[in-house]
Every structure is written in C-alpha cells, then in structure tokens.
Structure 1
C-alpha cells in the first residue's frame, strides 16, 4: 500500500518541504529502491516481494514522478540536491544508512548517496552518468520520444496496444528485453506515469552536463548492466568500473535497461549479494 511522507530539504535560499510517495514491506536491514526517469516505484514490484523476505524494503516515487509531488520550483533537480532530499526522506522514515538499489537515474542517485556516506551498500543497475556526449544525446532523444508518444496516445488506444504482446513491445521495447512478459495493466500504468511525470523536463535539463567522475569508497558497490540494454549501452559499465575501481561489475544476461522485469530472480540475487557483503 502506498503512503506519503513530508520532510524538509535544505536548499538555497532556505528550507523547503517535499512530499514523497513510498511503499514499505518486509523486515530486516533497510533497503531503499530508486527507479529511473519517467518511471515509478511499481517498476520494482517484480523484485520487491523477493527482497522483502530478508529486508525492510522501501520503494519510493522520486520527487516529480509517480505519486510524488515535484520539488518546489526554486529547488534544482541536479543529482546532488535530489540525493540530499533522499537523505532527508530516510531521516523522516527513521532509516539510517540503508542499502541502496537504483536503476538508471536511480542508480546515479544511489551512487551519489553512497559517496555522501548515506548508504551501507549500493547496487546500481545501468546507472546514468557514464555516457559519452553522443550516447547522452541519443538517450535523451529516445526518452523525449517515449514521453511524446505517451502523451499523444489516447487512453483507449493505449489500453488496446497494451493488451497484446506486439503492442507491449511497441510501447516498452526500448527499456525491456522481454516486454511481452510485462502485464498489460502495468504497461498502461507506467505509460501514464511517463505521460504525467511533472519532474521529467527539469530532470533532463539538470542531467545534461552530468558525468559521474568520483569514486565511492568504503562500502560494497555493484554496477550491473543488462546485456540487451538499448538505451544506455553496456560498454558504459566498463567506464563505471574505471571510475569506481572497487566496484563489482556484473553482466545481466538477457536483460534490458530496466532489468527488474526481465529477470527478477537474477536482479534480486545481485542486490542481496551486494547487501550481504556489507
């Protein structure tokens, strides 16, 4: 069941209040799950139940995505600011230094939280920020095209497309290697989430100059990349390993950019292995 929590962000010119939606299940050490741009916390549903057998799992809608309110207009969406906001969220939930798992934008934010000393371990699935400039332009163009398509589709057409495997492939084939496995109602919901994401443009604008160039020392880090990632090519994982030399680099065979649905058991195992090594 989704709940909301409000907390204070320290951001110039003064403190601001943010409200975030989240789901929490399970018991054990805390594990925070972060989705990618334009997505919502339901992206983690294929693995959150598996992980809840061992961890206190908290999946969040990032500010301006899913059911979470956008950040105030004068608060930037750069990774450092959003990471500090997530740190404040953890404090509001009574969570200290959770394990972190993030996908795409969420992977970048998880690494930033780890660098700030706010994590016990980090598992980053196809994290943003390790691109070349042509790769970034390609990814941003593809994301904008996905959003434009989501906004243009009448709801009855969206439901009709999602009801068939070829339609689901047309809607989500750029992020899943096995889009036919996604439930029709899930495809409709995530397409609507992309359409309505109030933080989408501000996040893209803040992400243009982002290159992740800093190490994340002192804690276990896993960089995992889908072998069939069409949005951020797997070669970016090699750059990530060079940037964070202590990280474990894992290939997710047969998985796309959002691997949680393509192979839930494999993704859950990679996250568990990283957390257990802390």
Structure 2
C-alpha cells in the first residue's frame, strides 16, 4: 500500500511543504524508480517484486502526478527544480544516494540526479531530452492526444473500452508494444492518472528547453531503449550514447516506450544489472552491444 511523505522545497517565496506518494518494498541497496509524464508509480508494478528481492525499492509519484501534490507556485517543472526536490524526498526517507532508474521523463530526471551527485548509478529507459526538434514536436503531439482522449472520454466509456483487446490498443498503443496484454484495471487507472495529472502541461512547457547535452561523469549509466518505441524513436538511443560516451546502451527487443509492461523479466534484469546487482550483463534478447552493434535504431520507422 502506497504512503505519503512530506518535506520542504525551496521556492522564490521561501521553503514550502510538498507531499509525495510512494510505494516501498524489499531490502538491500536503495533503488528509486521514476515514472514518465502523465503516469504514476504503478508503472513499475510488473517489476517491483522481482526488484524487491534484491533492493530496497522506492517507486515514487513525481510531483504533480499520481497521488503527489503539485509543485508550489513559482517552481518550474524542469530538472533544475525537480531534481533537488527528489533529493529532498530521498533525505526524508532516510536514503542517501540511491541507485536511480527512470522511464521517459523519469529517465531524464534520473540522469539529472546522477549529474547532481544524488545517485550512485543511473538506469534510464527511453529517457526524454535526446530528441531533435521534429521528434520533440511529434512526441508532444502524441502525448497531448493521449491526454485529450483521457480527459474527453467519460469514465464509463474508458472502462468499457478497456474490457476489450481492441479498446486497450486504442487507449495505450502509443506507449506499449503489446497493449492488448494490459489488464483492464491497469488501463483504466492509467487513463485516470493521465487526466488528473496537474503537472502535465507545465512539464511539457518546461521540456521545450531541455535537450540533454551533458555527460554524467563518475556515475555508472545504463541507457535502455525499446526497439518498438513509437513515442521516442529508438535512434535517440544512439544520440544518447554520443552525449554519454561512457554509458552502456542496452537494446530492449520488442518493447515499447514503457517497457516494464512489455517484457518485465528483461527490464528487471537490466535494472538490477544497471544498479550493480548482477555479476554478468544481460545476455540473449537484451544483450549489450557496446562495441558498436547497439541496435537502438532498429525499431519501426519514426517521424
């Protein structure tokens, strides 16, 4: 059962309280999980129990999403402001420099935590910020369309659509490679989280100015990209390797933008390996191709 923790963040008007919702399971080295825009901590549910077997796992709702409060007035939804807030969250939970893994927006924030010295390792799955301007516009258009649909459709209609495979495809195919496999309950919960995400528009506005162009020195970094990511083109993984030359680029075959649901076993293995939990790197389907064979661009044609 998720719980809440309150702490203070700096604002132009002085310290203000912020309440964040999180789920915590397991024992071991701490691993903080950060979801993408419009999502909630339950995005990590398919991998939580496996991770909790080796980690003290904290899956948090980002400020302005899920059950967490919006950032105080005057605080931007960009990494400059959100990364320190996540550091304050860790301090409030008694966690010092956790391993951090994030998806999409969460991946961008995880890299920011690594650069700020707030993470002992970073694993970023399809992180935002490595786009061209055309790719950013495409992603924003797709995200706004999902948000518009979630807000425009009556809840009974969302529930009815979620009960069929075709309906689940219509609702979630932009972010999952295998949307028909999602449970009706999870699809409804995600739609409701998206429609209620008070930080959505401000996060998009802040994201226009944050192409990620800085290395993360001194921290092990793993970048994972689904070959069927329809929101952020897999070719952006190769661009990420250019910005982060010491990072390990891992191909996630058959996975979409939110890969935890498409292949939980592979993603859990990548997260444990990225945070130092395995002596060997992933092999087979998700093998690392560090010597130039990383096939992050082998997804379907993207705009």
Name the residue aligned to 1:217.
217
| TM-aligned CA deviation for residue 13 of structure 1 | 3.5
TM-score, length-scaled by structure 1: 0.98
Q: Tell me, which stretches of 5 or more residues in structure 2 are unaligned?
A: 279-303
CA contact (8 A) 1:220 1:277 kept: no
* Aligned counterparts, 1:143-158, within 5 A: 143-158=143-158
CA contact (8 A) 2:125 2:223 kept: yes
| TM-aligned CA deviation for residue 10 of structure 1 | 2.2
CA contact (8 A) 2:172 2:179 kept: yes
Name the residue aligned to 2:37.
37
* Aligned counterparts, 1:1-278, within 5 A: 1-276=1-276
| TM-aligned CA deviation for residue 17 of structure 1 | 1.5
TM-score, length-scaled by structure 2: 0.90
Deviation per CA, 1:84-118, whole angstroms, max 9, x where unpaired? 10000000000000001100000000000000011
| TM-aligned CA deviation for residue 277 of structure 1 | 6.8
CA distance in 2, matches of 1:166, 1:66: 26
CA distance in 1, matches of 2:230, 2:17: 37
CA distance in 2, matches of 1:140, 1:271: 27
CA distance in 1, matches of 2:136, 2:75: 24
CA distance in 1, matches of 2:53, 2:266: 16
CA contact (8 A) 1:28 1:56 kept: yes
| TM-aligned CA deviation for residue 9 of structure 1 | 1.0
Q: CA RMSD in A?
A: 1.0
CA distance in 2, matches of 1:25, 1:277: 16
Structure 1 runs (4+) deviating above 2 angstroms are 10-13
Pairs aligned (count): 278
CA distance in 2, matches of 1:166, 1:76: 38
CA contact (8 A) 1:107 1:124 kept: yes
CA distance in 1, matches of 2:210, 2:15: 25
CA distance in 1, matches of 2:91, 2:10: 13
CA distance in 2, matches of 1:214, 1:257: 23
| TM-aligned CA deviation for residue 156 of structure 1 | 1.1
When structure 1 is superposed on structure 2, of 4-13 and 128-137 the one drifting more is 4-13
